[in-house]
Copies of this chain bind each other. A is one copy, B any other.
Amino acid sequence: MKVEDIIWKEGMSVKDLTDSLGNVGFQSVQLNNAKNAIVKMKKEGAKIFFTFTANMVTSGLRGLFAQTIKLGLADIIVTTVGSVEEDIMKAIGEKFDIGTFKADDVELYEKGENRVGNLFIRNESYYKFEDFTQEFLEKAYKKKRIWPVSELLKELGLELKDKNSILHQAAKNNVPVFCPGITDGAFGFHLFMFKEKHPDFIVEVVEDFKNILLSVSHDDKKGVICLGGGISKHHALFVCLLNGGLDYAVYLTTEHQTDGSMGGATTDEAKSWGKVKDDSDAATVIGDATITFPIIMMSVFEELKKEGII
């Protein structure tokens, strides 16, 4: 393949851009490869694991995540509990602020604003989340005592009405949401508070491991789209490893392989584990997913729409 000079033409679509980036070089080539891998995993009927970290849900990617589920590009979700919290806050009407990375953090604290990079979440959003959660847990407890995590999250999703909600679209489309670190955040705190009053209320994590393990089989084609690293990415890769490895893998990350971290681990490294098969379609794109994910996924949607697949 040759490098081709990119040129602007009036009215260019996102899809046109992605197509031409395929001949530009460095990360732009990877971006186009990622687009192609996702198109292919959908066309070939792969079960798609979609993983992301909570800061992605703090950002405005949330709506696009919900749409990704709705349009059938995500069959299994793995994420952290922060995603659950912020999806709920937004679903019940809370709005987050855009500020700067250099904001005065002491001043923010005094104003009751909590910074995530250049985004701010107000304390009030947490208070409303608390009210919602305690009420929800009461209802769930009435139904049964022992809850595998993904069943609890589905129940939650059924409560939400927002079409831009990840949990709502997941519940509606029968896409399980796994959260192996369910206690690590405000939701965990509310589970603890609730359990103080109801000691027989049990959140089952080992049972939920069984659920995710059985959510695919060795015979399924399997693909993964991972935004960032951490427990979400690792969990999906590990489950796929136990099921014979991935046929398609797309990683979007800001981390590099040079520190041996999960976020920086490449699709090549995954081959040594059998997580990703040797002949799989795989691409790692280095860059902020708030930029790379929309370009890639919108181009995927455009292409699949044109072919009548979505």
Cβ contact within 8 Å between B109 and A278: yes
Assuming the contacts A235-B184, A254-B261, asked whether A26 and B269 have C-beta atoms less than 8 A apart, the reply is no
CB contacts (< 8 Å) of A181 on chain B: these are 180-181, 184, 231, 235
CA gap between A27 and B295 in the complex, in Å:
14
Cβ contact within 8 Å between A106 and B290: no
CB distance from A14 to the nearest CB of B (A): 5
CB distance from A103 to the nearest CB of B (A): 7
Instruction: Let me know if A294 is at the binding interface, CB within 8 A.
Output: yes
Cβ contact within 8 Å between A26 and B290: yes
> Which residue of chain B lies nearest to A185 when distances are taken between CB atoms in the complex?
B238
A197-247: which residues lie under 8 A (CB-CB) from chain B?
201-210, 213, 228-231, 234-235, 238, 242
CB contacts (< 8 Å) of A301 on chain B: these are 8, 10
CB contacts (< 8 Å) of A272 on chain B: these are 103, 105-106, 108-109, 113-115, 120
Instruction: Let me know if A11 is at the binding interface, CB within 8 A.
Output: yes
Cβ contact within 8 Å between B117 and A59: no
* Chain A 282-310: CB-based contact to B (< 8 A → 1; otherwise 0): 00001111111011011001100100000
Which candidate, A42-50, A93-101, A153-161, is the interface stretch facing chain B? A93-101
CB contacts (< 8 Å) of A103 on chain B: these are 272
A-B contact pairs, 9 of them (CB 8 A): A6-B64, A6-B294, A8-B301, A12-B302, A24-B294, A182-B205, A191-B206, A195-B206, A254-B255
